[in-house]
């Protein structure tokens, strides 16, 4: 048997519905000897990628059979028209009938993504209930002329078929011939429509083993309907929890949100049932009918291809203008092979990137006064960076240059004060600021060769990590919506989506939710959650609280255990709830730009505030081949903008024709004197009340303790104040100690047995940093020195990650 109708916790994103994690659903199905399972959440495809990955992993580990079948589907709400359910909505009367869709292949999954996206486009609220209806006309337009890629079934008691059957029964009891004829006609019309749209071989009548009077009546009628129309029957259990013993937990979970919601009878049979349990529950039907319906679930499994929706990264490309490479570096091509390779590349994106680098070089580098040595330093760095880009492009089999060209386009749109974002863009954040090419393209405002700080290019991009880079862009928070709208206008409404995130039940949330569901009063619940330890910025998990964690050196919390055990079922309920997905939201900065309409490689849903977002979280979207761009909002840029506007208003500075030109003239890092002593005096004395990264109490304290004298020491303070180590003396304290008396550093090195030659090596790396490796780059550079460890970038990265654990 294959479970053709199963729900995971992704069904909880609008209304609490299921206590099945994707992992537990798959493993339990396999344990019960199911041949496969279908993921059919309520108008949500979000679990599909995770399910694909887990099934692959479990097969590799031998935890599920090699022939275990995963089917990707969706339980939709199929309506005749939006006018009927939205404009003419009547509480308690308007129906949103359920209907089940299963994808047979990749094309079928694309149809699912289109239909689901359209349903979310249609979304609206009736009271507090969010509705996401699929209109029959849309389904017909997408499927009918390209049928054979989706399988449909009639779903549960909430389906159109069963709604009509129950209405017929009620009309018969009331001897209402008109209603009997009406509902029979509508039932006949709907079944013929399904056959027409999907094809008879792809449309199944769904029986379910619930024990309610309504389900038994419908099952008996559905058997006859299938025979009359020549349709195949299947049996499904509409699993919302795993096994009967989980029923009380599921009830408590759903009750925790809805208060008086009646959940007990409705979900009585909604668990993964064994074949014997199904036979026992449906013994009012002939055994051969049940046997055939079970076999037909395996038939569906055979109809579904083995496929994946995963894809290699699809780098967004912009349409390029007409251009010409001027070959200003041609005299040095023989020395710098990657500059030459890009300049003569068959790929126009590569050539356009070289053209932009040429432009950036002439605009931002005072090349007329360059020494020969400096000229070749710059070209060597460009060549190194293009070499990484070229080699990774070869490994990924697509031009990495298009990524940087797209980032540059985004930056230009954000700056545009005419029809763009009208926002400042931060000077450069993270490893991207260490990439000279980014500076020459206008992505960052930092020339990594000019500030006396080691900013290695390989932290941003290196061929030992053949993956897409990450460029974080800082923008004004107040302009975020304007920026996003400008991106949609530029790239297309159907080619830009913000990334979704999913919230889960944490330890405190799970305990509070379990208490609500079990009727435990709020004061008690709050007291119990107060007993959960908080360590290093996080609450302990309930598992660690109840059972301890040797690896983390944690012992069970006896006081919490004793209190929780006073309440029957509380412990097991809270443990089961912890980690379940319970809401959806918007990623802080992630935006995906698509080359084609988003449904080609993702699907759209809406955040609770109505913002269009992806249906797959960041990791899963990337597994689908999508590329994320980080557009972060930074409050300090709003403050800088306000200052800039006031300076303009009061005539202290002059408008230069555009926001970007004005900023560049007065506030570009190149035009700021970072050697001004008064700047550091004010910072060290605490006079500067609001400096980016130093605006918190911790930041103020760090600045006044370190009392930086230059940009390097300021950067070190910014890094070190975030580091925590065991023992009383923290890294920032060590930095201050050595800054005040550098001889202590030399003394420590000698105590560790370093000779004069080895001390000189350390001086090269750390003397300017007062003997402290303040950043990951500092540690990596130490390990890569041939006189120390001689690591390459790959091994230096492993060391970095090991230190971070």
Residues 298, 248 within the same domain: yes
Instruction: Write out the two tokens for 344.
Output: 């003569």
User: What angle (nearest 5°) sits at the alpha carbon of residue 566, between those of residues 564 and 572?
Assistant: 50
Residues 202, 243 within the same domain: yes
Residues 279, 392 within the same domain: no
Rounded to whole angstroms, the Cα distance separating 533 from 147 reads 56
Residues 486, 441 within the same domain: yes
Q: What does the pLDDT average to over 623-635?
A: 96
Q: Which tens digit of pLDDT belongs to each residue from 519-544?
A: 999 999 999 999 999 987 899 999 99
Band (262; pLDDT cuts 50, 70, 90): low
Residue 259 has pLDDT above 50, yes or no: no
Predicted confidence at residue 764, as pLDDT, reads 95
Instruction: Write out the two tokens for 575.
Output: 């443990």
Q: Which tens digit of pLDDT belongs to each residue from 6-53?
A: 999 999 999 999 999 999 999 999 999 999 999 999 999 999 999 999
Q: Of 561, 578, 595, which residue constitutes the final position of a domain?
A: 578
- 739 lies in some domain: yes
Q: Are 508 and 540 in contact (CB under 8 A)?
A: no
- 549 lies in some domain: yes
Rounded to whole angstroms, the Cα distance separating 44 from 430 reads 35
Predicted confidence at residue 725, as pLDDT, reads 78
Q: What does the pLDDT average to over 722-730?
A: 82
Q: Which sign, positive or negative, has the C-alpha torsion 35, 231, 160, 135?
A: positive
User: What angle (nearest 5°) sits at the alpha carbon of residue 700, between those of residues 698 and 701?
Assistant: 65
Residue 604 pairs in a beta bridge with: 614
- 704 lies in some domain: yes
Predicted confidence at residue 264, as pLDDT, reads 64
- 142 lies in some domain: yes
User: What angle (nearest 5°) sits at the alpha carbon of residue 85, between those of residues 80 and 91?
Assistant: 140
* 729-749 burial: b if 16+ Cβ within 10 Å, else e: eebbebbbbbbeeeeebbeeb
Share of the chain above pLDDT 70, in %: 99
Predicted confidence at residue 452, as pLDDT, reads 78
Residues 76, 139 within the same domain: yes
Residue 270 has pLDDT above 50, yes or no: yes
Q: Which tens digit of pLDDT belongs to each residue from 306-319?
A: 999 999 999 999 99
Rounded to whole angstroms, the Cα distance separating 448 from 444 reads 10
Band (320; pLDDT cuts 50, 70, 90): very high
- 318 lies in some domain: no
If we measure between CA atoms, which residue out of 483, 496, 471 comes closest to residue 415? 483
Q: Which tens digit of pLDDT belongs to each residue from 453-482?
A: 889 999 999 999 888 999 999 999 999 999
Residue 255 has pLDDT above 60, yes or no: yes
Residues 233, 170 within the same domain: yes
- 615 lies in some domain: no
Residues 480, 512 within the same domain: no
Please tell me the least confidently modeled range out of 143-157, 551-565, 685-699, 786-800. 685-699
Q: Are strands 472-476 and 628-634 parallel, antiparallel or unpaired?
A: parallel
What integer best gives the mean pLDDT of the chain? 95
Residue 612 pairs in a beta bridge with: 606
Residues 462, 522 within the same domain: no
Residue 297 has pLDDT above 70, yes or no: yes
Phi-psi map region of 537: left, alpha, beta (phi>0 left; psi -120 to 50 alpha): left
Structure-derived torsion over alpha carbons of residues 689, 693, 698, 703, reported in degrees to the nearest 10: -60
Q: Are 8 and 41 in contact (CB under 8 A)?
A: yes
User: What angle (nearest 5°) sits at the alpha carbon of residue 579, between those of residues 578 and 582?
Assistant: 100
Rounded to whole angstroms, the Cα distance separating 190 from 186 reads 6
Helix (H) or strand (E) holding 759: helix 756-766
Instruction: Give backbone dihedrals phi and psi of 6, rounded to 5 degrees, phi first.
Output: -135, 145
Residues 250, 118 within the same domain: yes
Residue 605 has pLDDT above 60, yes or no: yes
- 799 lies in some domain: yes
* 708-726 burial: b if 16+ Cβ within 10 Å, else e: beebbbbbbbbbbbeeeee
DSSP line for 151-217: EEE--STTBHHHHHHHHHHHHHHTT-HHHHHHHHHHHHHHHHHHHHHH-GGGEEEEE----SHHHHH
Q: How many residues does the chain have?
A: 805
Q: Which tens digit of pLDDT belongs to each residue from 502-524?
A: 999 999 999 999 999 999 999 99
Rounded to whole angstroms, the Cα distance separating 719 from 774 reads 6
Instruction: Write out the two tokens for 622.
Output: 């990337």
Q: What does the pLDDT average to over 766-792?
A: 95
CATH code of residue 32: 3.20.20.140
Residues 195, 77 within the same domain: yes
Rounded to whole angstroms, the Cα distance separating 581 from 9 reads 5
Instruction: Write out the two tokens for 395.
Output: 């490994």
Predicted confidence at residue 258, as pLDDT, reads 59
Band (375; pLDDT cuts 50, 70, 90): very high
Domain of residue 358 covers: 330-491+627-636
Residue 550 has pLDDT above 90, yes or no: yes
Please give the sequence-ordered ranges of beta strands (E in DSSP) within 26-175, or none if there are none.
Answer: 36-39, 69-79, 98-103, 124-126, 129-131, 133-135, 150-153
Structure-derived torsion over alpha carbons of residues 120, 40, 583, 480, reported in degrees to the nearest 10: -40
Q: What does the pLDDT average to over 325-332?
A: 97
Residue 740 has pLDDT above 60, yes or no: yes
Residue 324 has pLDDT above 60, yes or no: yes
> Which 3 state secondary structure label does DSSP give 259?
coil
Residue 242 has pLDDT above 70, yes or no: yes
Residues 254, 174 within the same domain: yes
Residue 203 has pLDDT above 80, yes or no: yes
| CA 675 centroid distance within chain | 42
What letter would DSSP give residue 427? Answer: S
- 646 lies in some domain: no
Residues 75, 207 within the same domain: yes
Helix (H) or strand (E) holding 234: strand 232-235
Q: Are 250 and 19 in contact (CB under 8 A)?
A: yes
Roughly what angle, to the nearest 10 degrees, separates helices 522-530 and 507-517?
160
How many domains are contained in the chain?
Answer: 4
Instruction: Write out the two tokens for 708.
Output: 């930086």
């Amino acid at each position: 048997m294959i479970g053709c109708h199963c729900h995971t916790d992704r069904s909880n994103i609008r209304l609490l519905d299921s206590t099945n994690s994707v992992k537990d659903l798959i493993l339990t199905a396999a344990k019960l000897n199911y041949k496969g399972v279908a993921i059919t959440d309520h108008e949500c495809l979000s679990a599909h990628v995770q399910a694909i990955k887990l099934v692959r992993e479990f097969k590799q580990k031998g935890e599920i059979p090699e022939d275990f079948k995963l089917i990707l589907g969706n339980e939709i709400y199929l309506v005749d028209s939006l006018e009927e359910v939205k404009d003419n909505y009547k509480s308690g009367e308007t129906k949103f009938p359920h209907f089940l869709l299963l994808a047979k292949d990749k094309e079928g999954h694309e149809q699912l993504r289109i239909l689901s996206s359209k349903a979310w486009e249609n979304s609206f609220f009736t009271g507090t209930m969010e509705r996401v209806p699929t209109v029959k006309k849309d389904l017909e337009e997408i499927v009918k002329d390209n049928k054979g890629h989706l399988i449909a079934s009639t779903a549960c008691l909430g389906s159109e078929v069963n709604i009509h059957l129950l209405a017929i029964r009620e009309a018969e009891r009331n001897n209402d011939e008109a209603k009997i004829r009406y509902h029979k006609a509508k039932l006949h019309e709907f079944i013929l429509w399904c056959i027409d749209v999907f094809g008879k071989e792809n449309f199944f009548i769904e029986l379910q083993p619930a024990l309610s009077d309504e389900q038994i009546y419908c099952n008996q009628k559905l058997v006859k309907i299938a025979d009359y129309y020549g349709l195949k029957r299947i049996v499904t259990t509409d699993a919302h929890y795993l096994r009967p013993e989980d029923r009380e937990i599921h009830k408590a979970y759903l009750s925790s949100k809805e208060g008086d919601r009646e959940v007990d009878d409705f979900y009585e049979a909604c668990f993964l049932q064994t074949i014997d349990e199904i036979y026992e529950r449906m013994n009012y039907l002939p055994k051969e009918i049940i046997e055939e319906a079970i076999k037909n679930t395996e038939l569906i499994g055979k109809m579904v291809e083995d496929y994946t929706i995963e894809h290699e990264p699809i780098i967004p490309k912009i349409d390029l203008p007409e251009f010409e490479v001027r070959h200003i570096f041609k005299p040095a091509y023989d020395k710098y092979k990657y500059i030459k390779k890009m300049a003569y590349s068959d790929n126009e994106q590569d050539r356009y990137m070289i053209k932009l680098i040429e432009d950036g070089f002439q605009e931002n580098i005072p090349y007329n006064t360059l020494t020969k040595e400096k000229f070749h330093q710059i070209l060597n760095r460009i060549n190194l960076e293009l070499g990484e880009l070229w080699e990774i492009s070869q490994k990924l089999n697509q031009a990495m240059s298009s990524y940087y060209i797209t980032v540059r386009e985004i930056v230009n749109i954000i700056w545009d004060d005419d029809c763009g974002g009208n926002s400042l863009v931060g000077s450069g954040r993270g490893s991207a600021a260490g990439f000279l090419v980014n500076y020459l393209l206008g992505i960052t405002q930092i020339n990594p060769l000019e500030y006396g700080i080691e900013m290695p290019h390989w932290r941003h991009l290196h061929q030992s990590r053949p993956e897409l880079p990450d460029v974080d862009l800082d923008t004004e928070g107040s302009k975020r919506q304007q920026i996003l709208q400008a991106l949609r206008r530029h790239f297309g409404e159907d080619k830009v989506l913000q990334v979704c995130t999913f919230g889960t039940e944490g330890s405190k949330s799970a305990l509070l939710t379990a208490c609500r569901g079990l009727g435990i009063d709020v004061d008690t619940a709050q007291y119990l959650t107060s007993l959960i330890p908080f360590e290093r910025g996080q609450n302990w998990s309930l598992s660690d609280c109840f059972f301890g964690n040797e690896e983390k050196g944690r012992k069970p919390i006896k006081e919490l255990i004793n209190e929780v055990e006073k309440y029957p079922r509380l412990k097991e309920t809270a443990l089961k709830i912890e980690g379940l997905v319970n809401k959806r939201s918007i990623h802080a900065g992630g935006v995906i730009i698509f080359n084609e309409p988003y449904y080609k490689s993702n699907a759209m849903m809406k955040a609770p505030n109505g913002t269009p977002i992806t249906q797959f979280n960041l990791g899963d979207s990337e597994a689908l081949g999508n590329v994320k761009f980080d557009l972060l909002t930074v409050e300090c840029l709003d403050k800088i903008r306000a200052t800039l506007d006031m300076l303009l208003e009061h005539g202290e500075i002059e408008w230069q024709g555009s926001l970007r030109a004005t900023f560049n003239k007065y506030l570009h890092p190149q035009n700021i004197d970072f050697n001004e002593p008064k700047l550091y005096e004010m910072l060290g004395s605490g006079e500067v009340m609001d400096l980016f990264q130093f605006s918190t109490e911790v930041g103020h304290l760090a600045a006044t303790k370190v009392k930086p004298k230059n940009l390097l020491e300021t950067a070190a303070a910014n890094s070190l104040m975030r580091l925590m180590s065991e023992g009383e003396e923290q890294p920032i304290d060590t930095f201050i100690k050595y800054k005040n008396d550098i001889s202590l550093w030399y003394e420590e090195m000698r105590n560790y047995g370093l000779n004069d030659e080895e001390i000189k090596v350390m001086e090269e790396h750390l003397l300017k940093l007062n003997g402290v490796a303040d950043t990951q780059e500092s540690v990596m550079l130490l390990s890569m020195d041939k006189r120390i460890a001689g690591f390459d970038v790959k091994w230096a990265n492993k060391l970095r990650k090991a230190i971070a654990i």
